[in-house]
Structure 1
Amino acid sequence: MASITTDTTKHIISEIPTYITVYSDGTVDRPRQAPTVSPNPDHPNSPSKDIIISQNPNISARIYLPKVSHSETQKFSILVFFHGGGFFFESAFSKIHHEHCNVFVPLANSIVVSVEYRLAPEHPLPACYDDCWNSLQWVASNSAKNPVNAEPWLINHGDFNRVFIGGPSSGGNIVHNIAMRAGSEALPNDVKLVGAILQQPLFFSSYPVGLESVKFKSSDKDLYSSVWNFVYPSAPCGIDNPMINPVGIGAPSLDGLGCDRMIVCVAGKDGLRERGVWYYELVKKSGWKGKLELFEEENEDHVYHIFHPESESAHKLIKHLASFLHE
């Protein structure tokens, strides 16, 4: 009788080199993942704590509160923040995002709810979009008289007439998709989404836009396509799916964006700069009735404000966003 042998050697089944490797035994290696840090409830200017939004699916968040100085009933605008990382790495609890929020919160004088959504490939898209929508719904639900899974910082200090969403890179992509959903689905207690902040947002398509055909190497295009295929392998229309290409096949009109104000932030040295400007122009031409703004920092690269939150350029951006949050 012939013996049956099985190969039990651990081997790579998929990867994006230097970013992520998936092995045959189910383990995943994320070499660029920043270390995580604990919240700091005693921070003098931006106390933070971790909260559970949902246990099925597993969604959590780190919430930051500005310094309450005027009175115990002081109210702040609320920013629901979606971190970057290509949909497959990084965390709301990572050191870089925690340090960014510690700088952002006192300068912007706003509550930040930084969402820990599920990542690909363990949870392929559209899981993260659903998690972020559920998180926004949960924030809005705290405006009720007796909310389920209540959060005291939101109840006591959140201004539910000033609810915003924001995020960098893939987080900016999530912002777009959540804003579109807010245009067709109501939030609890008639809470309205006031504004959306897209920072160097991740969009792409099968064709170049702007100066990409001049600036791009084929490897750049291959990277964005590889990331999308990796995080959403079943995406209808692939890289032209409306979630990555806002005017892709079957995409709803951008005039359906469910917010009153939007700011698109780009950086001159960023490979995604052309896509951010492209998206701004698409929204501008769509017939959307909201207030739209483009902000550019010419001498900076991708998500510079996340990597260097204490830099002069980062402070300039955050102060500009503070004005956007308090218009």
Structure 2
Amino acid sequence: MASLTTTKEIDRELPPLLRVYKDGSVERFLGSSYVPPSEQDPDTGVSSKDIVISENPKISARLFLPKLEEQHQKLPILVYYHGGAFCLESAFSFLHQRYLNIIASHAKVLVVSIEYRLAPEHPLPAAYEDGWYALNWITSSKSEPWLMNHGDFNRFYIGGDTSGANIAHYALLRVGGGVDQLPNKVKISGALLAFPLFWSSKPILNEPVEGHEESSAMQVWKFVYPDAPGGIDNPLINPLAAGAPSLKDLGCPKILIFVAGKDELRDRGVWYCDAVKKSGWNGDVELIEVEGEEHCFQIYHPETHNSKNMISRIASFLV
């Protein structure tokens, strides 16, 4: 019997991530399998559960609550946007379930991991809209017991890895620009940006000139947001593009950025950090480079020495 991939006609693809067929179906080649939440994770003691934020559009989240020292303990809140090039992975995937169990346990924080709509079924800016909607829902919600009983909204953080870090950056600009404020006057205490996904039409720092047009970041952006005004120099992917909101308006007092020495996005994180420092933004930004590591290494291999150091640094940031 012929396989699915040989009997269906291909419409377009983004190697090696996924393929779209002319009947509208999508085949993803990367990404970890979905796993259910757990009442108490045997390795960390963290409990997790899933909630619905919106039915239309479909937005949900997985909450992670560490083992409490006392019944009415209040914890910092981390709203987390998963990575995956805007088209892969999930708040419900094995990799992020394992990673956020560890973060919640080590940092003693209540994590809200957002399940936003993915491209290509939902091209950008859907993920940005979902991320912003979820942030507003969380800060206005009075019905979610874990948030109400154990969340400290005076210690309210956002963050993510790669494309998720990009979504968090967008939310910071909306909050800090003076137009959009979060419900109940909630302020963002800080942002965690791990291996943030930014790019532009021109190479920067040590990025090679040759092959820039064929870079993976360029191909991803064209695929997930084919109608983006300005293309790869849209302010959502290029925070220094002409007409982009000023970085001095970032809406939090501190930012922690991680880059990895072997990551194609390494120079973009450095570039972004330098731009924030030069923007006139009145906050503290710290860049941590982990030499010799690959993109998002701490999610794939959380047991290594470098991963444990990174998780410890994140925990000390989320206070």
What TM-score range do you get, normalising by the shorter chain? over 0.9
Aligned to 2:175: 182
Output the amino acid matched with 2:191.
Answer: A
Q: Distance in 2 between matches of 1:33 and 1:199?
A: 18
Q: CA separation in 1, counterparts of 2:275 and 2:121?
A: 33
Q: Which has the larger radius of gyration?
A: 1
1:312-327 paired onto structure 2 within 5 Å: 312-326=305-319
Q: How does 1:207-286 map to 2 (within 5 A)?
A: 207-213=202-208, 218=211, 221-286=214-279
Tell me which residue corresponds to 1:16.
14
How many residues align? The count is 309
Give the secondary-structure state (helix, strand or coil) at the position aligned to 1:101: helix
Query: What amino acid maps onto 1:28 in structure 2?
Result: V
1:237–1:249: 8 Å Cα contact kept in structure 2? no
Report Cα offsets for 1:29-66 as digits up to 9, x if no partner.
Answer: 00112111010012252100011011111000110001
For residues 1-327 of structure 1, the aligned pairs below 5 Å read 10-43=8-41, 45-69=45-69, 71-142=70-141, 147=142, 150-184=143-177, 185-213=180-208, 218=211, 221-326=214-319
TM-score of the superposition, structure 2-length normalised? Answer: 0.94
Aligned-pair distance for 1:223? 2.0
Q: Deviations over 1:127-161 (max 9, x none)?
A: 1011111111111113xxxx2xx110010000000
Runs of 5+ in structure 1 lacking a partner? 1-8
C-alpha distance in structure 2 between counterparts of 1:217 and 1:200, whole Å = 23
Runs of 5+ in structure 2 lacking a partner?
Answer: 1-6
Instruction: Quote the sequence identity (%).
Output: 52
Taking the aligned partners of 1:113 and 1:221, their CA distance within structure 2 comes to 35
Matched position secondary structure for 2:39: coil
Q: TM-score, normalised by structure 1?
A: 0.92
Q: What is the rounded CA distance, in whole Å, between the counterparts of 2:282 and 2:265 in structure 1?
A: 26
Shift, 1:84, TM fit: 0.4
Query: Quick check: 1:103–1:310 contact (8 Å CA) kept in 2?
Result: no
Name whichever of 40-49 and 195-204 sits farther off. 40-49
In 1, the alpha carbon distance for the partners of 2:101 and 2:305 equals 16
Q: Residues 238-261 of structure 1: CA distance to partner in whole angstroms, max 9, x if unpaired?
A: 000000000112101100111111
| Alpha-carbon distance in structure 2 between the residues aligned to 1:42 and 1:310 | 20
The 8 Å contact of residues 203 and 212 in structure 2, kept in 1 or not, is answered as no
Supply the AA of the counterpart residue of 1:88: C
The one-letter code of the counterpart of 1:113 is: V
* Aligned equivalent of 1:5: none
The amino acid across from 1:249 in the alignment is: A
Distance 2:271 2:214 in 1: 16
Q: Is the deviation greater in 222-231 or in 60-69? A: 222-231
Partner SS, residue 36 of structure 2: coil
